[in-house]
Structure 1
């Protein structure tokens, strides 16, 4: 058995030795690769500065400075691994792991910065090609300007000025942008000849962007004509559908909401211009869509209401009266037994009173005196009144529970002491009831006075 455990221990030690050797090899390779990457990138930085200027390459310059600082720590750790002072396995393992970490971080930082500059450097090196491309694009776009102007003139004869406003100035703006692009590439060529590569690159970027914007403006003119025709076609279909929707809506159950939505849709149809009059199909289409959506919503609400009958007005008034009665009883009991009433009953009463006030605000008038309540408000008013009554009932129940639990031993539920000499043991008699209430008042006033003192 001892031989078995000894063999197992040797095998584990050999595995650890192999892992440590592999880590040391990785550390040496990573250190060499990171140092070489810094040297190559430093050489490339010189060319990048010549192409783009110092400002554009400043992030890479700063990154190289930071990386060199941290890589010096990695070299120091590697030196400690090979000095004359003996090291433990754990010390060597920790240093090699740190060397690998620092080198991988350094390469990641350099990758981020060089990839950000790669596209700009490539574009700068292709500057003559890009400049030629800009001039070619400008020439092609200038050929489109007369067509764009003719299109705008033709559209102006068909559509209202407010509809055409979004593209009317596009040809003129595109022409200005093309002139700017031509000027920009001229500046770029002169700056490159003067060795001012950074300024030249900025001028090229501005010229490319100007050409892109000019093309977008000219495309918008052509797109507008197509979209306007499509809007006209859609408008005609929606007009027909709207008239059919109105006919259907008129057969729906009477509802103020439906009547209002029908009126709005009819007004939108009446606002459409006569044939041959310059129009704004986009605005009319939006208005008809909005009116159609409003009618659909009103019909859906009317059908839902028809499936759930509106409470009669007298039922709503009964619910409000019941809530007021429940509140009055709960207020009287709690006010008459203040010394015995706990927080729960008081909270329910406060919530009931708040709900009752919300009902007045909802109706816009004191609910108790409201002779007419709109059909749209009746269901919600009844729900709020019932909620107030429920809360008041809970407050009354909790108040009675507090009174019963606070009453001295020997008292019946709502009378005085139940034994002989206190009403002959009667329960629920008028005298006992008054005795309990007066007792609550007296005790409450005594406690209030005690704490006041």
Structure 2
């Protein structure tokens, strides 16, 4: 047996030594990698600072300073691992684990900060190429402006000012953005030629954004015509659907909510522009769709109410009277046997009394009458449960011993035993039982 345990211990020691060796290797490799990463980052900072300026590179420079400070701790720990003073395995393990932790943190910080500048640095390195692409894009967009103007003229013949307000200035706005992009690109080229790299990059980014916005504006003009045609087609379908809904809702017109929704939908239909006139299909579709949805909701509610009739005021009051009787009985029983009644019965009664307080205001309004009936029934149920639980507590607490007061066996009819049980229960509650038998 001793040989078995000795062999097992040697295996565990060998396993731990292998893990320690691997941890030491990881710590050294991580230190080398981070040190190289810091040198590369320093080169990147120098380039980015010259091209982008101090403000744009401040975060990366601060991060590099913090990483250098923390890595000094890692180098110091590594030095302790290799000095002339012997170390225990636990000390080496702790230091190497800390070195790995510091290196991982340094990697994460440098990853985050360099990624934030990566696109801008890449754009700076490719500035001539980016500038050429911006100018080419501006020329291509400029060629689209006449077509956009023609589209706007064509749309203005069909749609009113309300509809055209979204795109009427689109061609002029795009032309201004294109001119601004070209001007910014020229400034960028001149600033870079004079060595003012930070200003050159700012002007280049401005030109890129202006080209992007100009393209978006021209796309919106071209897409608007198609979207307007789709809105007109959808409007035709919604008009037909709305007229059908009005016919279907006639049998529920006596319901006030349905009648109001029908009137709203009829008004929306009457407000549609006459055939051949200029329209705004988007606003017309929106107004008609809202009115149609209101009617659908009113009809659905009315049909649901027809399938499940609203309770009358008398029905609710009968349910409330029943709840009041149940509460009164439960309250009386609990009050008369306070020494025996537990928490469950008292809780049910308290909840029933709480629900009862707000029911009267809900009886008359139709919108809340069903809720009033539900609450009244729930109140009665809680009061009934309180009474049942109170009776259970009374039955379980009533003495069942033989009748020693009359001298002859168990009192079969209750009588004296039940009476004394109630008296004793009250005496216990009042703390006077000891005085009676004193």
Shorter chain as normaliser: what TM range?
0.7 to 0.9
* CA 132–307 in structure 1, closer or farther in 2 if over 3 Å, else same: same
What is the deviation of 1:124? 0.7
Residue 318 (str. 1) matches residue 318 (str. 2): yes
Residue 85 (str. 1) matches residue 76 (str. 2): no
What is the deviation of 1:378? 4.2
Distance 1:307 1:176 in 2: 63
Q: Which moved more, 1:301-310 or 1:270-279?
A: 301-310
Cross-structure match for 1:182: 182
Unaligned runs of 5+ in 2: 399-405, 407-413, 415-438
Distance 1:301 1:81 in 2: 80
Contact kept, 8 Å, 2:334 with 2:390, in 1: the verdict is no
Superposed CA offset, 1:257-289 (max 9, x none): 333332222222122121122222112212222
What is the deviation of 1:16? 4.0
Cross-structure match for 2:410: none
Cross-structure match for 1:224: 224
Contact kept, 8 Å, 1:184 with 1:207, in 2: the verdict is yes
Residue correspondence of structure 1 range 109-120 to structure 2 within 5 A: 109-120=109-120
Superposed CA offset, 1:225-258 (max 9, x none): 1111100011111111221222222246953333
Cross-structure match for 2:283: 283
Contact kept, 8 Å, 1:155 with 1:164, in 2: the verdict is yes
Contact kept, 8 Å, 1:311 with 1:378, in 2: the verdict is yes
Cross-structure match for 2:51: 51
Q: Secondary structure at the match of 1:278?
A: coil
Q: Secondary structure at the match of 1:62?
A: helix
Contact kept, 8 Å, 1:249 with 1:299, in 2: the verdict is yes
Distance 2:50 2:296 in 1: 67
Contact kept, 8 Å, 1:340 with 1:403, in 2: the verdict is no
Q: TM-score, normalised by structure 1?
A: 0.76
Cross-structure match for 1:170: 170
Distance 2:94 2:344 in 1: 65
Contact kept, 8 Å, 1:356 with 1:385, in 2: the verdict is yes
Q: TM-score, normalised by structure 2?
A: 0.78
* CA 163–353 in structure 1, closer or farther in 2 if over 3 Å, else same: farther
What is the deviation of 1:391? 5.3
Contact kept, 8 Å, 1:337 with 1:403, in 2: the verdict is no
Residue correspondence of structure 1 range 29-428 to structure 2 within 5 A: 29-251=29-251, 255-322=255-322, 355-363=355-363, 374=366, 377-390=368-381
CA RMSD, Structure 1 to Structure 2 (Å):
4.5
What is the deviation of 1:126? 1.4
Q: Secondary structure at the match of 2:278?
A: coil
What is the deviation of 1:316? 3.7
Superposed CA offset, 1:349-405 (max 9, x none): 765565455334335x6xxxxxxx64x554334334444555566677889999999
What is the deviation of 1:221? 1.2
Contact kept, 8 Å, 2:362 with 2:369, in 1: the verdict is no
Q: Secondary structure at the match of 1:358?
A: coil
Distance 2:345 2:13 in 1: 76
What is the deviation of 1:123? 0.3
Distance 2:274 2:65 in 1: 74
Q: Which moved more, 1:253-262 or 1:81-90?
A: 253-262
Cross-structure match for 1:414: none
Contact kept, 8 Å, 1:51 with 1:125, in 2: the verdict is no
* CA 232–341 in structure 1, closer or farther in 2 if over 3 Å, else same: farther
Unaligned runs of 5+ in 1: 366-372, 408-418, 420-426, 428-453
What is the deviation of 1:85? 1.4
Distance 2:122 2:305 in 1: 69
What is the deviation of 1:320? 4.6
Distance 1:95 1:394 in 2: 69
